[in-house]
Amino acid sequence: MALFHKVLRGTYILRKCSKPTSALHPFLGIRFADYSSSLQKPVASPGKASSQRKTEGGLQGHHQKEVALDITCPEEKPDVSFDKAIRDEAMDHFRRLKDEIVNHWKGPGGRPLQEALLEQAKVVWQFRGKEDLDKWRVTSDKTIGGRSEVFLKMGKNNQSALLYGTLSSEAPQDGESARSGYCAMISRIPRGAFERKLSYDWSQFNTLYLRVRGDGRPWMVNIKEDTDFLQRTNQMYSYFMFTRGGPYWQEVKIPFSKFFFSNRGRIRDVQHELLLDKISSIGFTLADKVDGPFFLEIDFIGVFTDPAHTEKFAYENSPELNPRLFK
């Protein structure tokens, strides 16, 4: 009798519950869903029946949305593994280090030594795509509060780099800077495996070779040596480049012996010869104090050997300025 009473009570509870949705079949079981659907629903008036259907439909739709949001496909879960990322990064650096060692034993730049020694000209930078622009960075007096602007983009037909902007010599109103007005384009220092700094070896060449097109403004070409001393971070070797203006390209050839030594923008009395086997970067600076727009278009930057140029160093030193050279 007690068992019969429990069965009747369970049947009454199932009649009061709504029909399980098809989204719950994997959790409740198909047999339970079929059994609950076979139960008779209590008879109600037509008005109450329609409102009850709307309520049940809304509850079922809301419940299906919740189930759909809670259940995620395992294929969509991102596979994030820090150990794998570190391992892949280390393997990539070791692979690059292996290539550098192999290329070093083959010869300069991975080429045979005989071929490198007979080389008379070499293109170091050229601009044929966005990856070539990523090797450079631009800066201006905005870093100290100035108003000059400089931009770098690809030229027409992706065959050159266009450096353009506006130069303003107005000093910043900070009470410290008395002068302003410069824009520059500087090459990034090359990096090897494990982010080691690399350098360019131009010891077998004697002339810098550029193909440019400008607006008639004078530019300063700056070359920096590779150094790890903080005292030498602002030291560089510079020389002037005069653009003709107009629509025609010009080829600029500057012997390395013409570059003079400067520190923090000031020409030093004691001059040193540029060490061509430890070149870290090259840059172009505009600071002619002429406010207004400017542009400089660069096709390529290279080095070559001019057999007609025999000068070693264009500047002399005296025993009073540099006595170590005369010992």
pLDDT at 178 (0 to 100): 79
Which residue matches tokens 């209590």? 42
Handedness of CA 91, 94, 98, 99 (dihedral sign): positive
Most confident of 55-59, 198-202, 207-211: 207-211
Whole-prediction pTM: 0.67
Inter-residue contact 303 to 282 (CB < 8 Å): no
List, for residues 275-323, the tens digit of each pLDDT value. Answer: 998 899 999 999 999 999 999 999 999 999 999 999 999 998 777 766 6
Of 326, 306, 308, nearest to 316 by C-alpha is 326
146 or 14, which is more confident: 146
At 205, is the secondary structure helix, strand, or coil?
A: coil
- What pLDDT shows up at residue 197? 87
Query: What structural domains and CATH numbers belong to the chain?
Result: 123-304 (2.60.120.430)
The beta-strand segments (E) located in the chain are 121-126, 136-140, 149-154, 161-167, 183-187, 207-214, 218-225, 235-242, 250-255, 260-263, 266-267, 279-286, 292-304
Helix (H) or strand (E) holding 35: helix 30-37
Query: Which CA distances in Å does 211 have to 280, 288, 296?
Result: 21, 21, 11
Only one residue has tokens 């500047």, namely 315
What is the per-residue pLDDT for 107?
66
For residues 160 and 295, is the Cβ–Cβ distance under 8 A? no
- pLDDT of amino acid 239: 96
